[in-house]
Structure 1
Amino acid sequence: MRVEVRLRVVGDAGEIICDDANVLVIDKRHDRLEAIGLSLDEAKEFLAGVQQHLVAAQAAAFAAGRRCCTHCGRSLRRKGRATLTFRTPFGNVPIDSPRLHRCRCAASAAEEGPQTFSPLTSLLTSHIAPELLYLESKWASLVSYGMTVDLLRDVLPIDARLNPKTVRNHLHRMAERLESVLGDERPNFIDSCPRDWKALPQPEGEIVVGIDGGYVRDWTDRKSHFGILVGKSLPRDRNDRYLGLVQSFDTKPKRRLWELLCSQGLQLNQAVTFLTDGGDDVRNLAAEMAPYAEHHLDWFHITMRLTVLGQYAKGLIHHDQEAGERIARNLLRIKRYLWHGNSRAALFWSQDLADDLYGLEEDCTYPKLKAFSQALAEFVTYIERNAHAIPNYGERYRNDERIATSFVESAVNVVIAKRFTKKQQMQWSRCGAHMLLQIRTRTLDGTLRGQFETWYPGLAANENQTSTQAAAA
């Protein structure tokens, strides 16, 4: 059978702009399974044909509406024309762009600018369709730049010359646009009077923010790595948000975190709990962020260190059973004190344990005793530095409150490991990693599309219009 698909475009006044345009002419068989319906290549051809005629009709209608002077209404003389290329998800479309002389009336003559102009420059502020930028940015943040090109080529009739470098440049351009609207960095975001906080409405609930870090390989120095901070914010009744930044590149880390919390409805009278591993970088990031903010040491990082010490104690039992069992009991006592938030008692018994190990150095034959003592000394220092951030974990656990950053550990895996391919030792520049993080975090928490709709309101209008038409049908 022969299939012919024709396109008709009707203007706002009811005039026919385009008619009898064949956008698809194919011969189809009906006796084979693989011939039923449109194939992917036929669908691409159809979409590309519709796009060519539709964009040409829209550009012609826009240019025709500006053929007359806006002051006196006189028709403008045409100087010539050029051909512009507009890149869309359905192929590159050449557009006829007329160039017109400005009117000689007094009002037009008073305007500054060249004597000729192209009306389409006010419409095509970019030669790339916003939806194509969105698709490139979204998929490039989820998979590699090369796989993004392959994906788009498989499902869309895009330009065959699209390459990974172009996709990367477009993603960086969108990330730079996000960076350009970020406010100035401030050391303190508490800038109002406590008396005003009581007048604020009751907040919806606590916001829990977990912050942790990871490392990726440096492109400039192949033998070194640089750090990436990853965070996840969990409000009570709102969507989760991700945070990602390169510490050695970002100049506005606190502002970035503040804007993220404000997007989740943060109020100055709202409780905010920061769970961190106790590192200086993450602790400084969360400092002076909100009046009712609390900084808690992650229970997971405490137990991880205690587990290592417990393994040393088990090894000591094989060489000195009495001392090994005594030290193992004291480690359990220290863990119990920390669980109930008694950091002072935990430090006392940790120091006692260190003295006990020191007394064993002369007679004990345990080969890892010195490493045991060093690990214990590091643990004591760790608890001393973060004693102020050790809450009553047992009480928080019974009240169904978070005590560990397991959700952030998974966020580190999602944000860093699954895209930056640490196992393959992929190398990154600090700028490239930071820009990719800004798009990737918004893709993961579902806010990238909303950001594009803010930049290009027509995207949201087209989406709503399509949904309304589908419901009516």
Structure 2
Amino acid sequence: MKKVVRFIAQCIDSDSGDIIEESIMNEKVLSKADTLKGLGYTHIEQIDFLQKIQDFKIKHQIILNTISTCPTCACKTKKVGIFKSKFHAVLTDHRVGVQRTHCNCGWYSPTSVEGLFGSNIHPDLLKKQALQGCKESYEKSSISLNAESANQRPTNGHSQISRVVKLVGEKLEQVKIAIKPINKKSTPELIANIDGGHIKARGDNRSFEAMIATVYKPEKLKRVDKNHTALEAKTIVASAKSDEQTTMKALFKNACITEGMGKDTEVICLADGADNCKSIAYSIEGDCKSMTYILDWFHIAMKFQNISMPETGKELFQSTKWNLWHGNCDKALERLKELMKIEIIAADKSLSVKLNKLSTYISNNTDGIVNYEERKNKGLVFTSNLAESTVNTLINERQKGKQKMLWSREGAHNVLQIRAAVRSESWVKDWKSVEDMVYKLAA
């Protein structure tokens, strides 16, 4: 006995039960699978199956979008032909017949899927393209998405993915900047980490800095083990724009609001002492109870780690670091002066330059240096190594290091909006807002 598997699609009048149209979607004779490849349907067969199913459903569904009443004068409309329009689903592409209608008042209905819904790319595909494009290069994203579809689709081209990332990034920024204060009760305390990362720019040996801020409630910082902590919840924002940090300040303020900032909130900000970090941090002073800026220990420790000290000066060098750890800037600067007077060190121009830079760094940031030992013993945050981790995640994995792509500020900024939303774990909610902005309800 020969067996055949047949899939039939039917469009049925639900009232009468009459079959309006019936079509065989797939029919295949069953045969023994000599290899695993022969078991079930191949990837291409599955995509082909989806193509036919989609075409059948769309053919009958799109009829329901025929506008029979004029939205201008409410008169009955007349049909004026069917127009073929492109529609791109997640895995397949389609030609959709859109019925056009018009009214004697001069009104005409849209003639395309894009005209009806605001776009001819299904939201699920747009979302996939945006996420894929912020994870890897647009070329690789195109290859990955086409591999899923088992077809070279123009809608998955690298230039299209670039346009999608731009669109979604711009909409995300609008969503984040549009946040308004809604907190009935202020969160007592918030921690903010602000840091920057350099991105390779178009041009010879050029780069620009992107700013990143992570805001969280202190109780959300949990200890994993003796040497590691993890954040259970946070809001991350970023900007690569050259606008004197106007966009970053707006995003930072709303990140704090998202985490519960109000007039009774004390905000502790940890950063590396750079002027742009300070400018961003102090921009929220009028929106909270207080804003305390702390030069985080992670960056101080890095300054010391990058200086190789001869045996003669190691004791004074460690004394400098010890005094900083206990918040005593004056003594730390005194120790540095003593250190730079040592003959072997004074004779080393490279080392002297580094020590002078360290002295300047401490002098410029005395207001932000605290007793780190005391904060550590009290279980208070004193370092922003988590911010450094965030910079690595948001920038370095996609826009730095071994990545060969060169960026414009606008391009980098849009990628960062998507990566920040994903990293903040607010992507699902944020995407819904973006979707509402890109697409429209059909009439």
TM-score under structure 1 normalisation?
0.79
Matched with 1:21 is: 23
1:107-146 aligned at under 5 Å gives the runs 109=105, 114-118=106-110, 123-146=116-139
Deviation at 1:337, TM superposition (A): 1.7
**Would you say the 8 A contact 1:134–1:449 is kept in 2?**
no
Q: Residue 264 of structure 1: which of 253, 259, 279 is its match? A: 259
Deviation at 1:19, TM superposition (A): 4.3
Which structure has the larger Rg? 1
* Deviating more after overlay: 387-396 vs 242-251: 242-251
Cα distance change of structure 1 residues 168 and 21 upon mapping to structure 2, 3 Å threshold? same
Pair 1:212 & 2:195 matched: yes
Q: Residue 58 of structure 1: which of 28, 38, 61 is its match? A: 61
Q: Residue 300 of structure 1: which of 278, 298, 301 is its match? A: 298
1:147-162 aligned at under 5 Å gives the runs 147-156=140-149, 160-161=153-154, 162=156
Pair 1:67 & 2:68 matched: yes
Amino acid aligned to 2:31: R
Matched with 2:402 is: 423
Q: Residue 212 of structure 2: which of 219, 222, 230 is its match? A: 230
In structure 1, the gaps of 5 or more residues are 192-196, 315-323, 460-473
**Identity of aligned pairs, percent?**
22
Taking the aligned partners of 1:412 and 1:70, their CA distance within structure 2 comes to: 51
Q: Residue 201 of structure 1: which of 185, 207, 212 is its match? A: 185
Deviation at 1:133, TM superposition (A): 0.8
Taking the aligned partners of 1:72 and 1:306, their CA distance within structure 2 comes to: 76
Matched with 1:317 is: none
Q: For residue 223 of structure 1, give the secondary structure of its aligned residue in structure 2.
A: coil
Q: How many pairs are equivalent?
A: 416
Deviations 1:338-379, CA, capped at 9 Å, x for gaps: 11212232223333433x33xx2xxx4x69623222222211
Deviation at 1:420, TM superposition (A): 1.4
Taking the aligned partners of 1:419 and 1:176, their CA distance within structure 2 comes to: 18
**Would you say the 8 A contact 2:87–2:93 is kept in 1?**
yes
Taking the aligned partners of 2:126 and 2:416, their CA distance within structure 1 comes to: 17
**Would you say the 8 A contact 2:13–2:20 is kept in 1?**
no
**Would you say the 8 A contact 2:85–2:112 is kept in 1?**
no
**Would you say the 8 A contact 1:69–1:75 is kept in 2?**
yes
Matched with 2:279 is: 284
Matched with 1:312 is: 309
Q: For residue 422 of structure 1, give the secondary structure of its aligned residue in structure 2.
A: coil
Cα distance change of structure 1 residues 270 and 12 upon mapping to structure 2, 3 Å threshold? farther
Matched with 1:462 is: none
**Would you say the 8 A contact 2:8–2:25 is kept in 1?**
yes
**Would you say the 8 A contact 1:149–1:167 is kept in 2?**
yes
Amino acid aligned to 1:283: K
Taking the aligned partners of 2:371 and 2:200, their CA distance within structure 1 comes to: 38
1:75-86 aligned at under 5 Å gives the runs 75-86=76-87
Taking the aligned partners of 2:20 and 2:335, their CA distance within structure 1 comes to: 86
**Would you say the 8 A contact 2:171–2:437 is kept in 1?**
no
Taking the aligned partners of 1:70 and 1:373, their CA distance within structure 2 comes to: 78
Taking the aligned partners of 1:458 and 1:389, their CA distance within structure 2 comes to: 42
Taking the aligned partners of 1:28 and 1:61, their CA distance within structure 2 comes to: 38
TM-score under structure 2 normalisation?
0.84
Matched with 1:468 is: none
Cα distance change of structure 1 residues 268 and 405 upon mapping to structure 2, 3 Å threshold? same
Deviation at 1:393, TM superposition (A): 0.8
Deviation at 1:384, TM superposition (A): 1.0
Pair 1:345 & 2:305 matched: no
Taking the aligned partners of 1:17 and 1:420, their CA distance within structure 2 comes to: 56
Cα distance change of structure 1 residues 119 and 216 upon mapping to structure 2, 3 Å threshold? closer
**Would you say the 8 A contact 1:85–1:92 is kept in 2?**
yes
Deviation at 1:138, TM superposition (A): 0.7
**Would you say the 8 A contact 1:248–1:430 is kept in 2?**
yes
Taking the aligned partners of 1:266 and 1:14, their CA distance within structure 2 comes to: 60
Amino acid aligned to 1:29: S
Deviation at 1:43, TM superposition (A): 1.7
Cα distance change of structure 1 residues 77 and 244 upon mapping to structure 2, 3 Å threshold? same
Amino acid aligned to 2:123: P
Matched with 1:95 is: 96
Deviations 1:66-121, CA, capped at 9 Å, x for gaps: 3245799864322222111111113222111122221x5xxxx4xxxx34334867
Deviation at 1:435, TM superposition (A): 1.4
Q: For residue 312 of structure 1, give the secondary structure of its aligned residue in structure 2.
A: coil
* Deviating more after overlay: 164-173 vs 392-401: 392-401
Cα distance change of structure 1 residues 257 and 10 upon mapping to structure 2, 3 Å threshold? farther
Matched with 2:45 is: 42
Taking the aligned partners of 2:19 and 2:260, their CA distance within structure 1 comes to: 48
In structure 2, the gaps of 5 or more residues are 221-231, 439-443
Cα distance change of structure 1 residues 39 and 401 upon mapping to structure 2, 3 Å threshold? farther
Pair 1:328 & 2:314 matched: yes
Cα distance change of structure 1 residues 401 and 13 upon mapping to structure 2, 3 Å threshold? farther
Taking the aligned partners of 1:399 and 1:11, their CA distance within structure 2 comes to: 72
Taking the aligned partners of 2:126 and 2:16, their CA distance within structure 1 comes to: 33
